[in-house]
């Protein structure tokens, strides 16, 4: 019986990235986030409710509180669960939690531009970032990521310098059918941006571990750490030699 309920990042990614990395982790329930329903009015809120419902089913089946482990964007789902079912959560483990996914993604774009400053398409990325800075908004945000794909090996920037074969595994799985759902990613992240409110102090008072990667291109650990500490004052923070995916 699984004792760890895992929430992957994304949105739109597949939990196959983690589950195929650790095929023997029988204690983990690798929950696959469902896709956004066509024409859903509030796809992010739908995802929150789906995560909570599945967690409650798992906790009931387990007969005891579960550890909730979450990566990146999944930390917001974990926080929703902790606020609505604190009695069923044994502990929280948040891995590179992105408090503001839009700003985290833009940090990645700027890092990619720095690394590829001499690339022929770098001026297009620079212009898109400048346009966003001049008039921030979701349309300008997606324009940045439209041209960011012109730069080479951007997904490899998620990882630190000593990641071994983790970047290749990540890319191999990412290129498989169903590993990434673009429409769901856009719909859920846009709804998140439209509805996000600072979560405030969590109702969960149990143990919380928050892990940041020293080489994470998406997170400012000092800035983001202060934001997460307001949510979980009891949290223990740790920085490890990884990029944005400490688990991988």
Q: Average the pLDDT over 92-121 and give the result.
A: 97
Q: What's 86's DSSP letter? A: G
pLDDT tens per residue across span 33-46: 999 999 899 999 99
pLDDT tens per residue across span 165-209: 999 999 999 999 989 999 999 999 999 999 988 888 999 999 999
Prediction pTM value: 0.96
User: Cα(155)–Cα(180) distance, rounded to whole angstroms?
Assistant: 13
* % helix, strand, coil for the chain, step of 5: 45, 15, 40
In this prediction, residue 188 carries a pLDDT of 97
pLDDT-derived band of residue 161, with 50, 70 and 90 as boundaries? very high
| Among 233, 241, 243, 211, residue whose Cα is nearest residue 69 | 211
């Amino acid at each position: 019986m699984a004792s760890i309920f895992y929430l992957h990042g994304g949105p739109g990614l597949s939990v196959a990235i983690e589950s195929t990395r650790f095929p023997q982790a029988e204690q983990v329930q690798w929950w696959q986030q469902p896709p956004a329903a066509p024409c859903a009015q509030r796809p992010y809120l739908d995802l929150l409710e789906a995560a909570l419902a599945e967690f409650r089913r798992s906790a009931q089946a387990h007969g005891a509180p579960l550890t909730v482990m979450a990566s990146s964007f999944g930390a917001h789902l974990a926080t929703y669960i902790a606020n609505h079912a604190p009695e069923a959560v044994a502990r929280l483990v948040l891995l590179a939690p992105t408090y503001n996914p839009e700003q985290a993604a833009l940090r990645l774009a700027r890092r990619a531009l720095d690394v590829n400053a001499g690339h022929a398409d770098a001026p297009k990325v620079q212009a898109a970032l400048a346009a966003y800075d001049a008039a921030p908004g979701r349309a300008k945000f997606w324009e940045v990521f439209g041209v960011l794909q012109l730069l080479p090996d951007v997904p490899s920037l998620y990882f630190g310098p000593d990641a071994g074969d983790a970047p290749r595994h990540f890319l191999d799985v990412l290129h498989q059918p169903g590993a990434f759902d673009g429409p769901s990613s856009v719909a859920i992240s846009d709804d998140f941006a439209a509805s996000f409110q600072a979560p405030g102090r969590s109702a969960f008072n149990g143990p919380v571990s928050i892990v940041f990667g020293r080489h994470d291109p998406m997170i400012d650990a000092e800035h983001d750490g202060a934001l997460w500490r307001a949510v979980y004052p009891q949290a223990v923070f740790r920085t490890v030699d990884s990029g944005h995916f400490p688990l991988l």
